[in-house]
Structure 1
Amino acid sequence: MTRQFVERELTSEGPRTRGTAPRRGRSVTVNQAESPVAWLYARGHLEERLFAAAERLRADWERAQLAPSVTMRWDPVRVKGGEQNLTRSERQLVAKQRFDGAIALAGKGLEDILWRVVCAGETLPTAEKALAWPARSGKLVLRLALERVADFYRIA
């Protein structure tokens, strides 16, 4: 996986736009390929168990192809290996069942932040704003949700 870094100039008034005079500020490097969960894990805000649970949930979300798409697959050929020689559609259904089970175990109120941060890739401040939560409350709620997801996936 290649990493994409973008230089941004941050100021107290926000990022500078093209064609405006340079303002005093600071420059920061941002890795756009890094997920919010990976960011939290890399900075010690999540244990390895919770990070693994988040990655499993996101993998099931991607395998189930729950993200918006514009095409459909017509693949009747069975693939050797994998999940008991299942077709691609059957593997997709199994992944969706695991995803639904993990989200259901997380429970009402926790599924929103879980989906937004882990699957949709929203940052915690963005998710907190969208859910009209107080600032800095999302990290605690996300940890609670990931604890339940880790139990669902039986991650020790």
Structure 2
Amino acid sequence: MYSIIKTNSENKAFQQLVIELDKELAIRDGDEHAFYDQFNKITTIKHVILVLEEDKAVGCGALKEYNTDTMEIKRMYVPLDKRGQGIASLILQALESWAKELGYSKCILETGVNQPEAIGLYKKNSYKVIPNYRQYAGMVNSVCFQKALKYKIE
């Protein structure tokens, strides 16, 4: 059974997962890793989701404000031995829910062409490809996505 906690970038388990993520991305991104890495610092992230399995962190994701109505999803990661179990979708749903609670109407994100599993995850979770934004404009190895957050009418 998984539990989901809200935390921030000071959480040690989150920091450890990000170290693992960065090692994997250094291999996948190759020569472009330094470019992408500069946009993925975690020192001031206020909104982090951790998925725990028996008190062990088995996945993470974060939100960073992009503009007044949009949150950017950052630092999504599930260790290789835990992939394929729905953890990443749980993280995305928790991040989207949190963004809605905070009053945002959409989420955007960037991933890479060398991360086909991530691309599949975002498409499966109703994210649509958009033109590459800001620092990713013109980067042929970047794929950017967006999802409008739906609010329940009660």
Please give the range of the TM-score, normalised by the shorter of the 2 chains. Answer: under 0.3
The two structures have a TM-score, normalised by structure 1, of: 0.26
| Higher RCO, Cα 8 Å, sep 6+ | 1
Q: Between Structure 1 and Structure 2, which shows a larger proportion of strand residues?
A: 2
The two structures have a TM-score, normalised by structure 2, of: 0.26
Q: Between Structure 1 and Structure 2, which shows a larger proportion of helix residues?
A: 1
